[in-house]
């Protein structure tokens, strides 16, 4: 059963839908403006709605309003929602994934953004092979070199792509990063730039069984800057749905 996770929100479902509507049109304008600044168009950027803590009724409203990608952070929360979700949006996993939970989501999401170790990639690959599928993944890069974050260091990532791309049950589609939290999104610009350079370098190497197609970076506070610096997938929660009220 899906619990009603909005009990502590002061807003009704109907109000949350209105909040989404207002925010979504604003986000689309900003995404387009940032895309144009980097020589691309709106269509080149994939907007993923980060849906942790958001009630399925609101998520489904977002999907019916045009959101084509949704991302969940926690395995349990994803499992509690998946049966009620509209089927016409792709489901991604964007949160920290422990190896022992991988079996619960492999085959149920079309992309795992947050592969932070070779060990986790091996686990995902083995489970995928048992299920007769190949799981598409992104490698998470700890671009700010923070102790609090997992992911490959910028120095490790080329070797990691090379090694992980040899695993038959996974296909590396690109890179993901969460730069340090800061008050001013401009401070993250160098990190986004560095990520994009890394992404393009690796793309240039044309490593077998991998493709550098997706650069997933930028969240509510900094997605404009991330797009300006080359992101083609942004993960937006608060700026789409409003403040989160329940910490699952
Ligand atoms: C929650 C979350 C987001 C979205 O964060 P907002 O600041 O609310 O936009 C993006 N990526 C990941 C991995 C998240 O956990």
Whether the pTM exceeds 0.85: the reply is: yes
Token pair for 136: 């598409």
247 inside domain: no
| Ligand 1 center to 123 CA (angstroms) | 25
Which CATH number fits the domain that encloses residue 19?
Answer: 3.20.20.10
Ligand 1 atom at minimum distance from 52 CA: 1
How is 101-139 classified by DSSP, letter by letter? GHHHHTTT-SEEEEE--HHHHHHHHHHHHHHT--EEEEE
53 inside domain: yes
Does residue 236's CB lie within 6 angstroms of at least one atom of ligand 1?
A: yes
Does residue 150's CB lie within 6 angstroms of at least one atom of ligand 1?
A: no
Boundaries of domain holding 227? 12-241
- pLDDT for position 10: 83
- pLDDT for position 42: 98
Mean of the pLDDT values across residues 54-83?
A: 97
Token pair for 148: 């609090």
Q: Is residue 157 within 8 Å of residue 174, measured between CB atoms? A: no
- pLDDT for position 85: 98
Instruction: Choose one of 53, 71, 143, 218 to mutate for the ligand 1 pocket test, by most ligand atoms within 8 angstroms of C-beta.
Output: 71
Looking at every residue in the chain, the average pLDDT score rounds to: 94
Mean of the pLDDT values across residues 7-28?
A: 90
At residue 1 the predicted structure's pLDDT band, cuts being 50, 70 and 90, is very low
4 inside domain: no
Best CA proximity match to 141, nearest among 179, 184, 96, 170: 179
3 inside domain: no
6 inside domain: no
Paired with 233 in beta bridges are 46, 216
Does residue 214's CB lie within 6 angstroms of at least one atom of ligand 1?
A: no
pLDDT digits (tens, 9 = 90+) for 177-212: 999 987 888 999 999 999 999 999 999 999 999 999
pLDDT digits (tens, 9 = 90+) for 21-64: 999 999 999 999 999 999 999 999 999 999 999 999 999 999 99
46 inside domain: yes
- pLDDT for position 75: 98
21 inside domain: yes
User: What's the sign of the alpha-carbon dihedral 186, 191, 195, 201?
Assistant: positive
Does residue 220's CB lie within 6 angstroms of at least one atom of ligand 1?
A: yes
18 inside domain: yes
Ligand 1 atom at minimum distance from 239 CA: 9
Overall number of domains in the chain: 1
């Amino acid at each position: 059963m899906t619990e009603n996770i909005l009990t502590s929100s002061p807003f009704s479902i109907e109000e949350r839908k209105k909040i989404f509507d207002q925010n979504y049109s604003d986000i689309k304008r900003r995404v387009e403006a940032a895309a144009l600044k980097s020589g691309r168009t709106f269509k080149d950027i994939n907007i993923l709605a980060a849906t942790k803590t958001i009630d399925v009724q609101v998520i489904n409203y977002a999907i019916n309003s045009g959101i084509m990608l949704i991302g969940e952070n926690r395995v349990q929360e994803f499992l509690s929602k998946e049966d009620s979700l509209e089927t016409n949006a792709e489901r991604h996993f964007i949160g920290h994934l422990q190896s022992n939970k991988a079996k619960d989501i492999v085959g149920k999401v079309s992309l795992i953004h947050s592969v932070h170790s070779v060990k986790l990639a091996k686990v995902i690959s083995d489970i995928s092979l048992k299920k007769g599928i190949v799981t598409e993944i992104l490698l998470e890069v700890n671009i700010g070199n923070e102790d609090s974050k997992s992911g490959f260091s910028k120095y490790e990532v080329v070797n990691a792509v090379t090694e992980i791309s040899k695993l038959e049950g996974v296909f590396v589609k690109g890179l993901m990063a969460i730069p340090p939290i800061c008050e001013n999104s401009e401070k993250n610009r160098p990190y986004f730039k560095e990520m994009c350079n890394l992404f393009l370098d690796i793309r240039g190497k044309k490593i077998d069984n991998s493709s550098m197609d997706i650069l997933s970076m930028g969240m509510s506070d900094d997605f404009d800057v991330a797009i300006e610096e080359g992101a083609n997938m942004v993960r937006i929660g608060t700026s789409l749905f409003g403040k989160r009220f329940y910490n699952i």
